[in-house]
Structure 1
Amino acid sequence: MINFVCSWVLSRFTLLSRRLLSLNTWPILFCCLVGAGCTSPTENKSFRIGFSQRTEADTWRKTMLDDMNRELSFNPEIELLVENADGQSAKQVQQIQKLIGQQIDLLIVSPNAALPITPIVEKAYQQQIPVVILDRRTASDEYTAYVGADNVEVGRTAGIYANALLHGAGNVLEIGESPGSSADIDRHRGFIEVIHQHPGLRLVTKLEGDWDTHSFAGKLTKLLQEKPGLQLIFAQNDRTALKAYRVCQQAGVANQVKIIGVDGLPGKNEGIDLVDRGILSATVLYPTGGKEAIQTALAILNKQPFKRENRLPITLIDSTNVRIMKLQNERIMAQQTDINRQIRRIRELTQTYSSQKNTLYFTLICLIVVIALAAWALYLFRQKRAAYQTLERQNQEILDQKDQIEAVSQQARAATEEKLRFYSYISHEFNTPLSLILTPTEDLLEKKNVSPHELKTSLGLVQKNAYRLLRLVDQMLDLRKTDAGKQRLHASEQDLVAFVREIVHDFARKAQKQRIDLQFIPERTSLPVWFDAEKLDKVLFNLLSNAFKYTPKGGLIHVRLTLLDNWVQIQVSDNGEGMTPEEQEHAFDLFFSGAKPFNLGKGLGLALSMEFIQLHQGELRVQSEKGIGTEFTIQLPTGNQHLSPDEMGKPASPSVIRPRILTLDEEVDDTGELIVNVPKQASTVLIVEDNDDLRTFLATRLGQEFEVVVEKTGENGWERVLEIVPDVIISDVMLDGTALDGLQLTQRIKADSRTSHIPVILLTAKGQMENRIEGTRAGADAYITKPFNSTYLLETLRTTLANRAKWQRRYSADLLPQPANRQEKKFLNELTALIEKHLADPTFSVEKLSREMGLSRVQLYRKVQALLAMNVSDYLAEVRLKKAKYMLKETNKSMAEIAAETGFGSAAYFTTFFKQHTQKTPSEYRKSPMRV
């Protein structure tokens, strides 16, 4: 067919050519052929824009030029002429004059300095050439439009953040931009405005910055040596900030001086990267404005409305948002790569179209002898219209893709914020099992001889917590599969009644131990249902585990299985503590923790359970009331009509279905003191820990040397502190299910005069410096992070108690000790004042003293024993004896008078008591030249 068409076209072309030649029409044909051959595949440029910039040596300027070229890629009819002045104002003036001579349609100027560039810019403006000023201003108002950020606002933003970093007081140094530039002047003015508003902030000096990498290094080094109190540097660009950091690093003060930069560009050693690496405390994002300058120029050239003053937004990037900014920039760069690829594709299509158009022109000349000129023109018109429609459709597809990418980016940003908050809780959830794995292991390795019972107990604890970690990891992997859409259903028809009964039976031992009424109540003896055994096993396991966790001893947990029309229903109900309406509404939200501390196992378990039931095309609901109980309801469809063929398969073997890591938390008796053979007079240690395994391990480990008392909640711990007044307290910071956490408990202990002397050691998975500062501020004597070494914990306890014993000996040396703790000093002042008030009363006893102090006899005894290493009676006698010694030396009163004023019943008893304690009679003591 193709050969036939070609032969026909060739024959018609030959015939018509002869007729045209016979009519002397060959000159016309030759002109048409020449015109077609000379047709250019590209169109002529419609506008010429001249761009004069101060330099292209820095990344910020390169980014600005890249933004301009990127925007111009959508306008191929625009020609951009670029001149770089290399930071020389005189050279920039010459280059602008050159651009004016090249008959440009619009001039874009980024001035090197304001004053030198102003006359030539005014000249261009007066010659009716539109002028767009970019980034830095000139000294004149004669321009068409201005595009750039407010440098004064940049300075103000840096000043406000500097005040926040230094808490309103400190010494500040500023390093400027190129001297004389509008950016340097405006940023300095904005920074100074804020500094002057805070009297505690003092600007030490302002150094000048330029392109010389060592221009201010010597001055800054000398300044750091002469004024070591410098606390913050504000550099007017990120490159200067990096140089300042290196100078501070060489001077050894990099960790003491905070640095704020300006620009906030992506890339290695740029602002965002420097903040992310901790080199800069913050950077002010200063947009280049390249894209906006081109958009403004196009509006001017196309006679469209435009804004004369285009202020670009700025923002501050610090440690709170640098990761998000970095991820956003990476995402934008990936999007830009896709856009560039689409642009290249459009250019290829355009070139293909141009080539096809030339071919069509040539074919037109060839076929002008075959068909009528009108018919051929109509054909060309239709072809052009189709090509334009294709290009418009492709352009619209690109715009739609761009909108979709932006929408996905916003969703990803929100999801990232939620996941970052979620992962911040993982360390606490993982560190407690890791502590119970590492600590027993280290104890076993340190001991030369280990009994079989101790070895089995420790390895059992290690195995249990390793399984717990493995279960958490498995749940996280399941969640990852669900997020990625790779979670698939593998359903088979099985007896649901037998399946649920077996799972409930696994919890029987735990129910028996906790005296919980666990019952499985099926409506039928058997019920075949299509379900994925592995996934349903995990759902029921999670629901029953949560029910046991929140059901008190002696409660009930019932599992019912009923058939309702075309649905099978499984209900797991308990009479536990229940949920608030808010907790019930968000029970299956992965990132919701409610008023309680976040629990990773519970959050993952319920969220995954919902996902697994939805895979079955079923429903999972919860009904709960605070203080009454909770009921979870699972509804699964009967039959297999709702399943696709690839979701149905053979039943999995039991070993595959349920290699269940049944680490059901075995509760321990957490009431009362742990019975351990400890030496008499051993120090009492109170342990407040919500994790049962860790609480039992600590009690067993410390019980070999101390008298140990354990509590599970902060409230019970405070009550036990008041009851027994222990020698030292060990508490976890995060106490699940309690309104009083470890920090609040520590603050309450240190604020109460009855307990302020007790040392407190905090255990926590939060090991960051800010958490340590918070614990120390609460009054903790030691702060140990999980996982911890038990030997280190023991040595910390011993050292704390030894230091307390030293204080006791020092305090008991004088009549009125002077402890460092303000609460302890107040207590001893009140105690001594009461004793001196009733010193002459021989019937004044410890019982009366405790009543007037507002303490029980036991509390008073333990408090005085802890502070003075003596009982209350001995201290009362010591005060009386020292008062008597003073009166014997400083007065001439008789023995009877002194005995009466110091509370002794008679002069004889006074003499006997005095000689027993001083080895001298009162008369001998009065005559002796030395004081005892």
Structure 2
Amino acid sequence: MNQPPNRSAPLPAYRLSAWALPSGAIWLLGLIGLWLLVGGCQLSTQKKAFRIGFSQRTQTDNWRKTMQESMNRELSFTPEVEFIVKDAGGRSDQQVRQIQELIDQQVDLLIVSPNAAQPITPVVEKAYQQGIPVIVVDRRTASDQYTAYVGADNVEVGRTAGIYAHALLKGAGNVVEIGESPGSSADMDRHRGFMEALRPHPGIRLVRKLDGDWDKRSFATALTKLLRGTPAIQLIFAQNDRTALKAHRVCQQLGMGNQVKIIGVDGLPGKNEGIELVDQRILDATVLYPTGGKEAIRTALAILNKQPFKRENRLPITLIDSTNVRIMKLQNEKVIEQQSDIERQIRQISDLNQTYTSQKTTLYITLGSLIVAILLGVWALYLFRSKQAAYHTLEQQNEEILTQKNQIEVVSQQARLATEEKLRFYSYISHEFNTPLSLILTPTEDLLAKRTVAPHDLKSSLLLVQKNAYRLLRLVDQMLDLRKTDAGKLRLRASEQDLVAFVRDIVSDFQRKAEKKRIDLQLLTTQSAQLTWFDAEKLDKVLFNLLSNAFKYTPKGGFIHVRLDSDGSQVRIQVEDNGEGMTPEEKDHAFDLFFSGTQPYNLAKGLGLALSMEFIELHRGTIDVASQQGRGTTFTILLPLGCAHLDESERVNTATRHRTLVETDDEEELLPVLSQPGKQVGTLLVIEDNDDLRTFLTNRLGTEFDIIAEKDAEQGWERALETIPDLVISDIMLPGSIDGLQLTQRIKADLRTSHIPVILLTAKGQMEQRIEGARAGADAYITKPFNTTYLLETLRTTLANRQKLQQRFASDLLPQLGNRNEKKFLNELTALIERHLGDPSFGVEMLSREMGLSRVQLYRKVQALLDMNVMDYLTEIRLKKAKYLLRETNKPIAEIAEETGFNSPAYFTTFFKQHTKRTPSEYRKSPVSA
């Protein structure tokens, strides 16, 4: 019979493994789960590092909104900062309460845009005294107890408006000023600057100053009365563009819209803002008054991160009128578009980082599950096989996660590279625009500064301005075309035309330039005509770019041949030259927008070739390049014949071609400017690769200096060694193997040239680049576009400081202070002279050989340091040695004469008396020897 089960027998082993795990393992599993949970939570949270409070006087006007938008954009790069904004609504008492609230919240830093100076000064001082850094923006308080100030100089704003008012009225007229809110620092400072500018011109009279719209009051009635009264008002200066627009409407209501000139302040982009009002001729001008939002945030972050910062941050201002409003408008539109692209990239990168964080958390959880599975496998051996399958599954999942992580990292790297390329492209745009802008602004400022201008100088300056305006316009057009291609909005407008006549017409446009450079330019074709469907305007730009590049890299006496033939199905155009050619790497990337190879980046070339490929591909054609370094380059264009490859919308009946301006004097050699009689300023070496700017500097500075001009650093270095100039002006970005910074370092390191001051004149204006220039040893750093008067004053001051140094060296033959290389040179020179002092035959020839310098280099080096020639210096040392021996020893005069290098005691006595007015014996007997 069946036996009853023995309840005291042990349970099966699998039940023990599944249900009776030791308590230590359970605790270990719990700790692992808790660690994973805490780790996942830490990944998903991020504590704010700093809290910045911002007290805004009001946000009702666009200028204030623009300030806060620029702050928010700058803060988008530092998400760890919490930004607290308080709007006072234009009320000082409300602003005082809000600042106190921010102090109570213990913000790390306080930014204040004062409504009025006096009311908020006590609470700002209170924050400052409690150790909270305070940055005052736009308007000042009535105290200097703040950490930093960011804003434009309101006195300079008023002064700029007054100067332009004098120019508009030509020295005579009646003016009305409309101010800001009474009592604000901006109102008082702008009025003071305006009156300072008008004070030298008694013909211009300020009839009355009106207060702007404030405290429910309006200036419209008072302005209407003034305009209707006597004397007649010729100009209105409004301290902001909103007031200026309202003043214009008052003038229009009185029928005086075209009679009264109006100047505003702010210069914001957008509808009914300063730039648009100037562009529409509603305002005659507006003074660009930067908001300072970006600068305030950068200063705040520098303070919080304990980095160096400036206490007084003066923002630059400029005048916008009809001469530059279009450029400003285009630049603002481009900046807004670029900022939008950057923000979009930042959002994408943020999304990718969030995805990466999520995947990383999942990976940690998976690894934790794997560890749990291993522990369960140790304690439950019988589940090993089943758990092994689960482990294999988890491993596959882990590999998939790692693969996804790698893909995310690749996408993130691509986004970062794309952002870097865009930022680098924007820096190239700034550099390429600054040189033509310099050649537009600098001649214009020179003309405005002169009381009278000769017709020849006026025409020459205007031609230079026109040429560079066309160059700037062409760069802008190319950028707009490139933008259209990126947006897919560029359309082909092809028509059937004679391609042979079209190409011949373009080649003839370059004929004059070819004659000037003695280049053999020919169109080689056996066809009298070739009907082809093409867009004349786009093909004109392609051929213009190819021929321009060929002229740029083809030497004088070379050739440029344009070949045209067809095979019945397609037509071929070739542009061949025997110029410098390209390296294999440059050839492979010839049509890449951002590639420059071994040559300095050229925006016009990069845009031109990239657009050329886009235009040819629109024609369903191809463009290719064959090149060998030192043997020339050939560009080949293939275009299909017929019109079957074109859409109906791409065909037009009439052909249009915008003729591109060919610059014929880009490569003209710079003629040296002869020194004018009586000049005693010095020799100036100018190193600048842009021919126009080099010619302008030569002509403008040639009235005060002997000019030596070179276009690259290698030739500049050779000329510096050859001539030992008094000053060197150099660009930073130069063709060749060395740039301006390397040239500066070489000049300062070489014993022959270390005393020469170097001034860097460049479009690179960032603080990091200025620091690099200072580290290289530059004596001054001037950015383009530059003011000629400032450049001249810098040159004069540098030379004056050099003369002071000469006087100091001359007063003490071995001074304790001074440049280390110059002190070393003088030590070696003096020691060498003293070593050969007793040799009567020792002179300049032997001295120059011993020093390792040529006779000319030694003379110029000593003259530059001591303001005396070598022989005078040798005489000074001999005389000093003779005085010492006469005063401190009892040696006979004949022996002293021999020790100091004199052939006879009689000659020594004559020499000594000529220089001291006493004989050696009289000098020795005198009680006080000089």
Question: What is the rounded CA distance, in whole Å, between the counterparts of 2:295 and 2:431 in structure 1?
Answer: 29
Post-superposition shift, 1:416?
A: 3.7
Q: 1:826 to 1:541 in 2, by over 3 A?
A: same
Unaligned runs of 5+ in 1: 1-129, 134-138, 159-186, 188-211, 222-241, 257-272, 285-321, 336-403
Bigger mean CA offset, 747-756 vs 495-504 = 495-504
Q: Is the 8 A contact 1:217 1:247 kept in 2?
A: no
Measure the CA separation in 1 of the matches of 2:44 and 2:904. 86
What is the correspondence of 1:334-345 to structure 2 with a 5 Å cutoff? none
Aligned 8 A contact 2:540 2:659 in 1:
no
Spell out the pairing of 1:163-202 with structure 2 (5 A cutoff). none
- Shift in Å, 1:785: 0.2
Aligned to 2:714: 715
Deviates more, 1:610-619 or 1:891-900: 891-900
Aligned residue for 1:173?
none
Instruction: Tell me whether 1:493 sits opposite 2:492 in the alignment.
Output: no
Q: Which segment drifts farther, 903-912 or 691-700?
A: 903-912
Alignment partners' CA distance in 2, 1:153 and 1:923: 96
Does the aligned pair in 2 maintain the 1:568–1:636 contact within 8 Å?
yes
Counterpart in 2 of 1:504?
507
Aligned position for 1:800? 798
Alpha-carbon distance in structure 1 between the residues aligned to 2:341 and 2:498: 50
**What is the TM-score when the length of structure 2 is the normalising length?**
0.60
Give the AA of the match of 1:146.
Answer: L
Q: What SS does structure 1 have at the residue aligned with 2:877?
A: helix
Structure 1 residue 757 corresponds to structure 2 residue 755:
yes
Deviation string 1:51-104 (CA, Å, 9 cap, x unpaired) is xxxxxxxxxxxxxxxxxxxxxxxxxxxxxxxxxxxxxxxxxxxxxxxxxxxxxx
Quick one: structure 1 residues 528 and 276, their matched pair in 2 at CA, closer, same or farther if it must change by over 3 Å? Answer: farther
Where does residue 468 of structure 2 map in the other structure? 465
Instruction: Quote the residue 1:382 is aligned against.
Output: none
Tell me the equivalent position of 2:674.
Answer: 675
The answer as to whether partners of 1:840 and 1:902 remain within 8 angstroms in 2 is yes
Q: For 1:3-56, what per-residue CA distance to the aligned partner results, in whole angstroms no more than 9, with x for missing partners?
A: xxxxxxxxxxxxxxxxxxxxxxxxxxxxxxxxxxxxxxxxxxxxxxxxxxxxxx
Question: Sequence identity, in percent?
Answer: 65
Task: Report the 3-state secondary structure (helix = DSSP H, G, I; strand = E; otherwise coil) of the residue aligned with 2:824.
Answer: helix
Distance 1:565 1:454 in 2: 56
Superposition deviation, residue 646 in structure 1? 1.2
C-alpha displacement of 1:553: 1.6
Q: Partners in 2 of 1:779 and 1:678 — Cα distance?
A: 33
The Cα of 1:666 is off from its aligned counterpart by: 2.6
**1:536–1:218 Cα change, 3 Å:** closer
Describe the SS at the equivalent of 1:486: coil
- Count of matched residue pairs: 600
Tell me which residue corresponds to 2:37: 146
> Among residues 403, 407, 430, which one is paired with 2:433 in the alignment?
430
Q: Are residue 563 (structure 1) and residue 566 (structure 2) matched?
A: yes
Residue among 813, 819, 822 paired with 2:820: 822
Corresponding residue for 1:637?
A: 640
TM-score (normalised: structure 1): 0.60
CA distance in 2, matches of 1:896, 1:723: 43
| Alpha-carbon distance between aligned partners in 2 of 1:405 and 1:479, rounded to the nearest angstrom | 30
Q: Which moved more, 1:796-805 or 1:412-421?
A: 412-421
Larger Cα-atom Rg: 1
Match of 1:702 in 2: 701
1:280-333, Cα deviation, whole Å (9 max, x unpaired): 46999xxxxxxxxxxxxxxxxxxxxxxxxxxxxxxxxxxxxx999953564599
The farther-off stretch of 789-798 and 503-512 is: 503-512
CA distance in 2, matches of 1:414, 1:445: 45
- 1:625 equivalent in alignment to 2:598: no
- Name 1:834's counterpart in structure 2: 832
CA drift of 1:662 comes to: 2.5
**Cα distance change, pair 413–889 in 1 and its aligned pair in 2 (3 A):** closer
SS in 2 for 1:557: strand
Deviations 1:92-138 (A, max 9, x none): xxxxxxxxxxxxxxxxxxxxxxxxxxxxxxxxxxxxxx9xx9xxxxx
Query: Is contact 2:512-2:664 (8 Å) kept?
Result: no
**Residues 413 and 649 (structure 1 numbering): CA distance in 2 closer, same or farther, change over 3 Å?**
farther
Q: Is the 8 A contact 2:434 2:785 kept in 1?
A: yes
Secondary structure class of the residue paired with 2:928: coil
Aligned equivalents of 1:837 and 1:509: distance in 2?
65
Amino acid at match of 1:926: R
Alignment-mate amino acid for residue 625 of structure 1: Q
Give the Cα separation in 1 of the matches to 2:786 and 2:342: 36
Aligned equivalent of 2:886: 888
Equivalent pair of 1:915/1:922 in contact (CA under 8 Å): yes
Deviation at 1:916, TM superposition (A): 1.1
Alignment of 1:639-658 (within 5 A): 639-653=642-656, 657-658=657-658
Distance 1:704 1:526 in 2: 56
Query: After superposition, where does 1:705-784 map in structure 2 within 5 Å?
Result: 705-735=704-734, 737-784=735-782
**Matched residues in 2 for 1:507 and 1:478: separation?**
23
Q: 2:606 aligns with which of 603, 609, 621?
A: 603
- What residue number does 2:684 align with? 685
**Aligned pair in 2 of structure 1 residues 491, 829: CA closer, same or farther (>3 Å)?**
same
| 2:518 paired with 1:515 | yes
Deviations 1:465-489 (A, max 9, x none): 0000000000001001111111111
| Counterpart-to-counterpart distance in 2, 1:930 and 1:913 | 21
Report the secondary structure of 1:761's partner residue: strand
Of the candidates 920, 927, 930, which is equivalent to residue 928 of structure 2? 930
The separation in 2 between residues aligned to 1:434 and 1:458, in whole angstroms, is 13
Structure 1 residue 684, shift from structure 2 partner = 0.3
Which residue identity lines up with residue 605 of structure 1 in the other structure? G
Alignment of 1:89-488 (within 5 A): 146=37, 148=39, 217=106, 247=133, 249=135, 252-253=146-147, 279-280=300-301, 327-328=344-345, 330=347, 415-488=418-491
Partners of 1:333 and 1:643 lie apart in 2 by: 43
CA 1:810 to 1:650, structure 2 compared with 1: closer, same or farther past 3 Å? same
CA distance in 1, matches of 2:35, 2:581: 69
1:790 equivalent in structure 2:
788
Q: Give a deviation string over 1:437-486, Cα, whole Å, max 9, x none.
A: 11111111111111111111111000000000000000001001111111
TM-superposed CA distance for 1:759, in Å, is 0.2
Contact 1:842 / 1:905 at 8 angstroms: preserved in 2? yes
- Contact 2:349-2:415 within 8 A present in 1 as well: no
Q: What do you get for the CA RMSD once the two structures are aligned? A: 3.9
8 Å CA contact 1:711–1:717 kept in 2: the answer is: yes
| Structure 1 residues 684 and 618: CA distance shift in structure 2, 3 A | same
Q: Cα gap change, 1:690/1:902 in structure 2, threshold over 3 Å: closer, same or farther?
A: same
In structure 1, what is the Cα distance between the partners aligned to 2:131 and 2:438? 39
Q: Structure 1 residues 588 and 213 mapped into 2: Cα distance closer, same or farther (>3 Å)?
A: same
Q: 1:824, 1:406 → 2: CA distance?
A: 54
In the TM superposition, residue 408 of structure 1 has moved relative to its aligned partner by 10
1:602 is paired with a residue whose SS is helix
Q: Alpha-carbon deviation of 1:565?
A: 3.5
Q: How far did residue 905 of structure 1 move?
A: 1.3
SS at match of 1:509: helix
Give the match for residue 917 of structure 1: 915
Asked if the contact 1:276–1:323 (Cα under 8 Å) also holds between the matched residues in 2, the reply is: no
Contact 2:596 / 2:602 at 8 angstroms: preserved in 1?
A: yes
Contact kept in structure 2, 1:275 and 1:281, CA below 8 Å:
no
Query: Residues of 2 paired with 1:688 and 1:216: CA distance?
Result: 57
Q: Distance in 1 between matches of 2:604 and 2:834?
A: 60
Q: Please give the alpha-carbon distance, in whole angstroms, between the structure 2 residues aligned to 1:899 and 1:323.
A: 84
Alignment of 1:47-62 (within 5 A): none
Q: Please state if 1:899 is matched with 2:897.
A: yes
Contact 1:217 1:244 (C-alpha < 8 Å) held by counterparts: no
CA distance in 2 between counterparts of 1:925 and 1:882 reads: 13
| Aligned 8 A contact 1:492 1:532 in 2 | yes
The verdict on how the C-alpha distance between 1:485 and 1:554 changes in structure 2, with shifts beyond 3 A counting, is same
Q: 1:274 to 1:660 in 2, by over 3 A?
A: closer
Gaps of 5+ in 2: 1-25, 50-79, 81-100, 111-127, 137-144, 151-293, 306-338, 353-406
Does the Cα contact within 8 Å between 1:275 and 1:283 map onto a contact in 2?
no
Amino acid in structure 1 at the alignment position of 2:668:
V
Q: SS state of the match for residue 811, structure 2? A: coil
Task: Report the Cα distance in structure 2 between the residues aligned to 1:458 and 1:752, rounded to whole angstroms.
Answer: 39
Amino acid at match of 2:788: S
Alpha-carbon deviations, 1:232-262, whole Å to 9, x = none? xxxxxxxxxx999954659745799xxxxxx
In structure 2, the CA distance between the partners of 1:509 and 1:220, relative to structure 1 (3 Å rule), is: closer
